[in-house]
Structure 1
Amino acid sequence: MAQQKTCFVTIGATASFSSLIKAALSAPFLSALQNHGYTNLLVQYGQDGKELFDGCMQQAKATVNSSGIKVSGFGLDKAGLGKYMRQAKGGVKGAQEGVVISHAGSGSILDALRTSVPLIVVPNSELLDNHQVELAEALAEQEYVVHGTLSGLPQALQDAEKLRQRQKEWPPVNSGVHRQAKGLKGVLDEEMGFLD
């Protein structure tokens, strides 16, 4: 039996991000998961996304069946997303470390960074007054995350696998010159408007 390896996709709790759900259930992305040894795809589709998730699953049925990847989804979990991120972390016996793919919401990003699991951040371009792109770019520049796009999810998955290896090296990828940068706290303070 192969070791479990989970990709957890979350769109957060407040805004719909149907494009990310569609991209995660697309044939190219499912193929990329299979090529990187993933066994499970878990999608948090939000409070109004069940119909969309079910429709995408119908369209992707043949690809899902041929990939051998177990795909499941859920709406919201009032207990939070921590247990799903830990599942992607792979700390359970017989499981490999996977990846989290998230919208660029600061809460979801912080949860994934606390869990220390490779993170692909995909900004939701459909939002008004969108600061998600700046946050994703700043965190990717400091090599905390991979900045992904909807059309580039397969490449982002490959980049996340490389980031995983670099994060395990010494010195850490975000040391040295990166210490002079604002850091995660500085980026989040700036995004939230807490300026000195």
Structure 2
Amino acid sequence: MTTSSRKVCFVTIGATAPFDALLSNVLDQPFLEALKKHEYTTLLIQYGKEGQAIFDTFTKNNPSGSPGRYDLDIQGFSFKSEGLMQEMRSTKANPAQKVVEGMILSHAGSGSIMEALRIGVPLVVVPNPALQDNHQEELARQIAKNGWAVVGKLDRLTESVQKAEKLRISSRSWPPRNSGALKDSRGLAGVVEDELGFLD
């Protein structure tokens, strides 16, 4: 990656249930350091309705250019009624604009996961342990089992960055070469679009 290239990590906390633990962890030194190590330049966070205080405290304590930002351009917003597709697409490679492929880190809401899978970049899914039932955990485990995403753990979030890089490599071989007539060059993203009837 050249020094002028852009590599985006987009984090979505969700719009309904607060997930302060995830927000705090992505703004913590180990995660930011891991992003820098893997040549990310931008951290874009959708911090939800209740996360602004955490985000504002971080930016106040770590103004632009300070060591605590690890040379990352860190931006955030609470909610967008039109959805998050534009932000998710900012993680896709765009050689004309010197953008290299980044990653999406998402809470384990089914809507966010399905949108992220359409993009076709590495996806890390972090279930919210504060929720009463375990449907997020079950969903995250299943998509990881299928090789479509990485399940992130709050106490080991830095590992997710490395696992996302490995997923980037392995996903490029999907579908398997021995899959006969199944030769969809759009990979998993194309299958998701076809199965769910998405039209762009």
Contact kept? 1:166, 1:172, Cα under 8 Å = no
Q: Distance in 2 between matches of 1:172 and 1:12?
A: 33
- Aligned-residue offset at 1:47: 1.6
Contact kept? 1:6, 1:90, Cα under 8 Å = no
Q: Does 1:84 align with 2:87?
A: yes
Give the one of 122, 126, 129 matched to 2:126: 122
Q: How many residues align?
A: 176
**5+ unaligned residues in a row in structure 1: which ranges?**
177-183, 186-196
Tell me the C-alpha RMSD between the 2 structures. Answer: 2.1
1:160 aligned partner: 164
Between stretches 89-98 and 8-17, larger displacement belongs to 89-98
Between stretches 91-100 and 2-11, larger displacement belongs to 91-100
- Partner of 1:88, secondary structure, is coil
- Aligned-residue offset at 1:54: 1.0
Q: Distance in 2 between matches of 1:60 and 1:125?
A: 28
Report the CA distance shift for 1:107/1:64 in structure 2 as closer, same or farther (over 3 A).
Answer: same
- Partner of 2:155, secondary structure, is coil
Give the one of 68, 72, 75 matched to 1:72: 75
State how 1:24-173 maps to structure 2 within 5 Å: 24-60=26-62, 62-65=66-69, 67-91=70-94, 93-169=97-173, 171-172=175-176
Amino acid of the structure 2 residue aligned with 1:134: E
Instruction: Please give the TM-score of this superposition, normalised by the length of structure 1.
Output: 0.83
Amino acid of the structure 1 residue aligned with 2:38: H
Between stretches 164-173 and 78-87, larger displacement belongs to 164-173
Between stretches 78-87 and 47-56, larger displacement belongs to 47-56
- Aligned-residue offset at 1:60: 5.0
Instruction: Please give the TM-score of this superposition, normalised by the length of structure 2.
Output: 0.81
Q: Distance in 2 between matches of 1:64 and 1:90?
A: 27
